[in-house]
Amino acid sequence: MIPPTHTYILAHDLGTTGNKAALFDEAGRQVGSAFAGYPTAYPHPNWAEQEPDDWWQAVCVTTRQLLAETGVAPSAIAAVGFSGQMMGCVALGADGAPLRSCIIWADQRAQEEGAFLVERCGEDAIYNTCGHLPSPAYSAPKILWLRNHQPEIYAQAVCFLQPKDYIAYRLTGNLVTDYSDASGTLLFNLATRDWEADFLARLDIPVEKLPALHPSNAVVGQVTATAADATGLAPGTPVVIGAGDGSAAGVGAGVIDAGDAYCNIGSSAWVSIAADAPLPDPLHRTITFHHAHPERYAPMGVMQAAGGARQWTWNLLAQDALDLDAAAAAVAPGSDNLLFLPYFIGERSPYWNPLARGALVGLTMNHGKAEIARATLEGVAFNLGLIVNALREQAPAMRAMRFIGGGSRGPLWRQILADIFQMPVQTLALQGDATSWGAAVTAGVGVGLYDWSIATESAAIIAAAEPNPATMARYAELLDLYAATYRALEPIYARLA
Which amino acids are annotated catalytic? Answer: 245
Phi, psi of 333 (to 5 degrees): -50, 135
89: DSSP letter: B
Between CA 87 and CA 303 the distance in angstroms is 16
In angstroms, the Cα distances linking 430 to 134, 299, 455, 458, 459 are 33, 22, 11, 9, 7
Q: List CB contacts of 413: < 8 A, sequence separation 6 or more.
A: 265, 377, 380, 381, 407
Give buried/exposed letters for 455-472 (b at 16+ CB in 10 A, else e).
bbebbeeeeebebeeebb
Q: Which residues does 196 contact at the CB level (< 8 Å), separation at least 6?
A: 129, 130, 187, 188, 189
CA distance 381 to 95: 49
- Tell me which residue of 12, 172, 33, 166 sits closest to 80, measured CA to CA: 12
Give dist(CA 27, CA 7) in Å, integer.
9
* 142 to 113, 199, 385, 410, 464: CA distances (angstroms): 8, 15, 32, 38, 42
The answer to whether the bond into 350 is cis (omega within 30° of 0) is yes
Give the number of other CB atoms < 10 A from CB of residue 495. Answer: 7
- For residue 380, the surrounding DSSP H or E stretch is helix 369-394
Cβ neighbourhood burial of 496 (10 Å; 0-12, 13-18, 19+): exposed
Strand, coil or helix: 64 = helix
H/E segment holding residue 181: helix 179-182
